Structure 1
């Protein structure tokens, strides 16, 4: 099967640091290629893949501010659809915009919906509902207005995450510095516990950072170390006593949650969105409702078996499992499209 894999172009695929959609796209692409599938990755020109790379955008527009996002998004997406008939399947990881090009081809399109940035984007998904195929990344993130072919949880390359049995005495926040991710609440939790907190991630909302984060950074009790790449990520996650994930929105998945557990580090998360699908309360972390409950969970963190955290990821969230489930979806789509043609004839 000839597969066209459409990645976003905000960042390189795979990303140097931040870029969860690009990261998942890369893992899936390389997993398929390793199994002998013919995959063309549509991504930025500096992207890396064992398959064939097709690019028009030189770099990620978040990494080169001279690139106008909408201009390069249009060029990027149209480039794929102008070559769409050369493929047996298009796998879209680029949100709703590529769906508006789907009338240009008869090649089946499956879209992994990596979350809804706003209810305002639903009309596009609803328009192409039934005409294309949708995969959700958690059951919690499904819209009742859409039909889905399957829910496929993300997987990670567990070999890139080293297990750490003995942590240091600090808490970790690992994610975007933004209200959605609850950076402010992570600081409140750590201060209430009297624990050191390390913050790692891109600043996505500068005003939020300036008001709620920067005043607390003293490089003693609260430190901000910026965005962390793959080389440092494993050690940082593994040496934390717990990952704080006090999200303020219904998160579709949460890669950092399973990355943390892969290193043996339990997660204390606000019980919203997909968290109950990733965390077994009391076994590989704690699901809590507010800051006070999170503080209580920190006091109980020694109850969590770090080996169990690692084993949970090995059982449920590997890249091999994710790739196998997507191959199953591709086969289902191939069979469905074949049946449609037979009915037409």
Structure 2
């Protein structure tokens, strides 16, 4: 089977630090290659893959701001669609824009929906529901207005994450610095718990960082900035626990699965996909308030870090994700 994987072009695939959709697209492509699938990855020209790389955009437009984002997206998507007949199937990780080509090409299209940025984009998904198969990344992120072929959890390269049996004495916030992600709440949880907190991630909301985060930084509340793969592995593995006090219904949460792969349990607000990722009382705690989170932090040491690693390896591995997607592909191609 010849499969085209369409990644976004905001960042390199796989990303150097931030870029969750690019990371998942990369993991899908590399997982399929390992299964013997002929994969062409459509991504930025500086991307890396064991398959065949196809590119017309030199660098991610978030990494090289001299580019116009819409122009880059247009050139990138059309590059694949004009070659659609070369493939048995196209796997779209680029949200709703590629759907507009689905009635114009003969090739079956699978679209992974990485969350809905707005209710308004559902109109596009509804219009093209008959010409693409939709896959959700969690049961929580399904819209009742759409049909779905499957739910496939995001998968990670287990070997990229080192299991740490004995953590250090700090809590970690790992993610975008944005109100949705709850950075300020993580600081409050750490302060009330009497624990050191390390904060790693890109500043996505400068005003929020300036007003709600920066004034509280100290010797015990430390902002590290964006963290690449090597630093991420060390930060996650050595943490006593990951704080994930989200203020939105998160579709998945890669950092949650990453932390557990390192053996690190997670304290998360009980929203979105968190009940699907975390086994309450075994691999972390699902809480509804800062106060409950403070109580949960006191219990982190009682959890089995080996159980965290085993749960995440069994449910959120690259191998499982690739196999699940291949089953979707085979069913769709056979149906076609």
Aligned to 2:286: 287
Q: Does 1:28 align with 2:7?
A: no
The alignment's C-alpha RMSD in Å is 0.7
TM-score under structure 2 normalisation?
0.99
2-structure distance, mates of 1:36, 1:316: 22
Secondary structure, counterpart of 1:309 in structure 2: helix
1-structure distance, mates of 2:25, 2:132: 19
Matches within 5 A, 1:96-245: 96-218=96-218, 220-245=219-244
1-structure distance, mates of 2:316, 2:54: 29
- What does the per-residue CA deviation read over 1:174-199, in whole Å, with 9 as the maximum and x for residues that have no partner? 00000110001001101111111000
**What's the offset of the Cα at 1:29?**
0.5
Secondary structure, counterpart of 2:144 in structure 1: coil
2-structure distance, mates of 1:117, 1:96: 10
1-structure distance, mates of 2:261, 2:102: 38
Give structure 2 stretches of 5+ with no counterpart: none
- What does the per-residue CA deviation read over 1:223-281, in whole Å, with 9 as the maximum and x for residues that have no partner? 11111111111111011000000000000000100100011100000000000001010
2-structure distance, mates of 1:319, 1:180: 27
**What's the offset of the Cα at 1:35?**
2.1
Give structure 1 stretches of 5+ with no counterpart: 338-345
Aligned to 1:340: none
Secondary structure, counterpart of 2:17 in structure 1: coil
1-structure distance, mates of 2:202, 2:290: 23
1:61–1:68 contact (8 Å) kept in structure 2: yes
Q: Does 1:272 align with 2:235?
A: no
1-structure distance, mates of 2:14, 2:163: 23
**What's the offset of the Cα at 1:104?**
2.1
Secondary structure, counterpart of 1:65 in structure 2: coil
Aligned to 1:91: 91
Matches within 5 A, 1:293-308: 293-308=292-307
2:236–2:242 contact (8 Å) kept in structure 1: yes
Q: Does 1:15 align with 2:6?
A: no
**Which runs of structure 1 show a deviation greater than 4 angstroms over 4 or more consecutive aligned residues?**
none
- What does the per-residue CA deviation read over 1:119-154, in whole Å, with 9 as the maximum and x for residues that have no partner? 111100010112210000000000000000000001
Question: How many aligned residue pairs are there?
Answer: 336
TM-score under structure 1 normalisation?
0.96
2-structure distance, mates of 1:77, 1:327: 22
**What's the offset of the Cα at 1:101?**
1.7
**What's the offset of the Cα at 1:315?**
1.6
